[in-house]
Amino acid sequence: MKILKTIEELQNIRKNITSNVGFVPTMGALHDGHISLIKKARIENDVVIVSIFVNPTQFLPGEDLDAYPRKDEADKKICEMCQVDYLFMPEIKTMYTKEEVLLKAPNKSYILEGKTRPGHFDGVLQVVLKLFGITQPTNAYFGKKDAQQLSLITQMVKDFFLPINIVACEIIRESDGLALSSRNIYLDEKQRKDSLLISKSLYAAATLVAKEEKDVKVIKEKIHEVMQTLDLEYVAIVDREFNEIKKIELNNTIILVVAKFGQTRLLDNIWL
């Protein structure tokens, strides 16, 4: 595995690669969820590139940019174990100039995650487009846990006619059901226990659907019932284009929940 710090290094290597390239963009603090993406990329591509970059433009004032977990040495070992070919670890000054051409996310970026974090997805799309330009991947791998982000990146690729296949990967969970997240380390013992109500509520919703309950109002009520002791930020049931729906549409519905544990926000979802 070769570790690269500059855009020029990576571009010089990339221009000589003629086979399939799989790309996994991350912000580091790698866990089993990231590893699942990398392993899938390794199976499906001849060359695998992983990036680690904590992107400042997607953090709003007062958010945890400075506190965001950084585990560079451990991350390097994980990438080596996963047989990554190239690990791209740029600095902020490498990725951003003083005056940027800005990217404006579409209106659906201002609902759900974007409602409480206006501008967040502008920063996400900005850095992902930069990374796509540098790595020029054949396939790029993203987890379904960040469903709204996945939808917006998929739309960006389509709107800009980028020759990139976006691969949506399943959510990886702890054995007790909690969706893996780099922010899970912020939870104290009680919060960690309480957080299990998130996945429990989604499983309860899926059980209702399996019993042919299609009314969104009924399913939301069940989720609220399961999570009534938590600081619930939102419950949303949408189609794959993130339009609100009144009836469950199989193979076209996502149930999303976000709860807060102190200063830590945990999001989870289930695709029906």
Q: pLDDT (tens digit, 9 = 90+) per residue, 92-121? A: 999 998 888 888 889 889 999 999 888 899
Nearest alpha carbon to residue 76 among 24, 11, 29, 130: 29
Q: What's the first-to-final CA gap in the chain, in angstroms?
A: 38
pLDDT computed for residue 47 by the predictor: 98
Q: What is the dihedral of CA 265, 32, 28, 134, to 10 degrees?
A: -120
For residue 264, give both structure tokens: 């830590």
Domain extents in the chain: 2-169, 182-266
pLDDT tens-digit series, residues 60-94: 777 777 777 788 999 999 999 999 999 999 999 99
* Candidate ranges 108-112, 134-138, 188-192, 243-247; pick with highest mean pLDDT: 134-138
How far is C-alpha 10 from the geometric centre of its chain's CA atoms?
A: 24
Q: With 0-12 CB in 10 A as exposed, 13-18 as middle and 19+ as buried, what is 106? A: middle
pTM equals 0.91
At the second CATH level, the architecture of 2-169 is 3-Layer(aba) Sandwich (3.40)
CATH superfamily of 182-266: Pantoate-beta-alanine ligase, C-terminal domain (3.30.1300.10)
pLDDT computed for residue 92 by the predictor: 92
Report the mean per-residue pLDDT for the chain: 93
Q: Which residues are tagged catalytic?
A: 34
pLDDT computed for residue 62 by the predictor: 72
- What is the percent of the chain with per-residue pLDDT over 70, rounded to a whole number? 100
C-alpha to C-alpha distance for 45 and 161, rounded to whole angstroms = 21
- In one-letter notation, the amino acid at residue 97 is T
Q: How far is CA 268 from CA 133, 154, 187, 262, in A?
A: 30, 19, 16, 17
